[in-house]
Amino acid sequence: MPRIACLLVPDFSIAALRRAEPDLHGRPLVAVEREDPHAPLTAVSAEAAALGARPGLSAAQARTISNALLVRRPRSEDLRCAEEALCDVADSFSPRVENAGRGVAFLEIDGVRSLFGSESHLATSLVARLRRVGLEGRAAVASTKTAAWLAARTSEGVDVVPAEEGRRRLGSLPVSILDPPDDVVLALDRWGIRTLGQLAALPVTAVGWRFGETGIQLWKRAAGEDEEPLVVSPRPCNFEETTDCGYAIDSFEPLSFLLRAALERLTVRLDIRSLRAGDLRLSLRLEGGGHEEHVITVAAPTNEVKALLTLARLHFDRQPPRAAVEWFRLSAVAERLRPIELDLFAPAGPSPQDLGVTIARLTAIAGAERVGSPAVLDSHRPEAFV
């Protein structure tokens, strides 16, 4: 029987907001799906819950609880980048990964368990690597996706459910953890069915006659069974981060702080996949509605944030934006790390990323048409070159 690991980020909207804006860590934060005083809260941070906020309240009601509460609507770009970062973590452990959406990913760990010594160590490594990409989450290992998801949802951080203990471990959990419809919860409560074990002990045909297809699916999940096997779909090797500046930025110095944060998030994702950043592509939304596309050439792929930021600075010295920047999307061409063969008796030369920065500095001084490498011309003159 295959073993499945579940990687879960609770309150995914809150986690995505904090990943995009690290200043929000530790502050009472609630998330809504739309900018409307009557919009219900979809996620609540632990700090906000301590003040009395809870999902289901309206944004207006939340603001009356405390002036310290921050009501934010996560942008779709922040959610997408956080979801891609979550999948990058899963991909770095196993080639068979299913993105279940909203902060949940499943991965088949058969064949990779021996690399970590134990399933517990593997789950701990998953959580630690998730923290590297700016997300706080949980991990659990079980024999089915449903069992792994339930274990991750109820654990404090890491949990491993042995194959022979799956039914017993899940049986004590309340039925409400499966988020069934209210009428189903009411009917089950009248029957005295309050735990997954009690629900799984009922005949599935009787549950189906009473509740239809919804009841059958609920019974299967209570028994720890999956509705479908692990669905593995190829994921494009796409590495990008977006940032809303909050206000129009008309000089590179304040922009560089936001660029550095985006580069740090981007290079960490590349690093856990054993990749390096090649050419950078920067899409800018300018004040007044204009857009610009910039390509920052990286001579030698690197994950050194300082070197990449220097290349960006030199690029903008030559080609500054036409107007102030309000938003940008930063993407990198993923490159494999190139092995460099060193000489046994000669000292090592300068690092490739230093060469890239030097070329960029020379290009800024002399112009792109005056910087390059010599090449021999196809001519009868032996000294002819360009």
Structural domain boundaries of the chain? 1-163, 172-233, 239-370
Rama region for 64: left / alpha / beta (φ>0; ψ in -120 to 50; rest): alpha
Q: What pLDDT is attached to residue 91?
A: 93
Residue 65, amino acid: I
CATH class in words for 1-163: alpha beta
Q: What are phi and psi of 13, to 5 degrees?
A: -60, -45
Burial, 19: exposed, middle or buried (Cβ in 10 Å; 0-12, 13-18, 19+)? buried
CATH number for region 172-233: 1.10.150.20
Q: Which residues of 92-121 are buried (b: 16+ CB within 10 A; e: fewer)?
A: bbbebbbbeeebbbbbbbeebeeebeebee
Q: What pLDDT is attached to residue 368?
A: 73
Q: What pLDDT is attached to residue 254?
A: 92
Q: What pLDDT is attached to residue 63?
A: 87
What's the residue count for the chain?
386
Of the CATH numbers 3.20.20.70, 3.10.105.10, 3.30.1490.100, 3.40.50.10240, which one belongs to the domain with range 239-370?
3.30.1490.100
Which residue's entry shows tokens 């304040």? Answer: 254
pLDDT digits (tens, 9 = 90+) for 49-108: 999 999 989 989 988 888 889 999 999 999 999 999 999 999 999 999 999 988 999 999
CB atoms inside a 10 Å sphere around CB 122? 24
Q: What pLDDT is attached to residue 373?
A: 80
Supply the pTM of this predicted model: 0.84
What tokens does 288 get?
């007044």
pLDDT digits (tens, 9 = 90+) for 168-221: 888 888 998 888 888 888 988 888 999 999 998 999 898 889 999 988 999 998
Counting as low any pLDDT under 70, the low residues of the chain are 1, 338-340, 353
Question: If we measure between CA atoms, which residue out of 363, 361, 353 comes closest to residue 301?
Answer: 353
Percentage helix, strand, coil for the chain under 3-state DSSP, each rounded to 5? 45, 20, 35
Helix axis angle, 76-91 to 252-272, nearest 10°: 30
Q: What pLDDT is attached to residue 117?
A: 83
Q: What pLDDT is attached to residue 44?
A: 93
Question: If we measure between CA atoms, which residue out of 52, 10, 61, 9 comes closest to residue 32?
Answer: 61
Q: What pLDDT is attached to residue 333?
A: 92
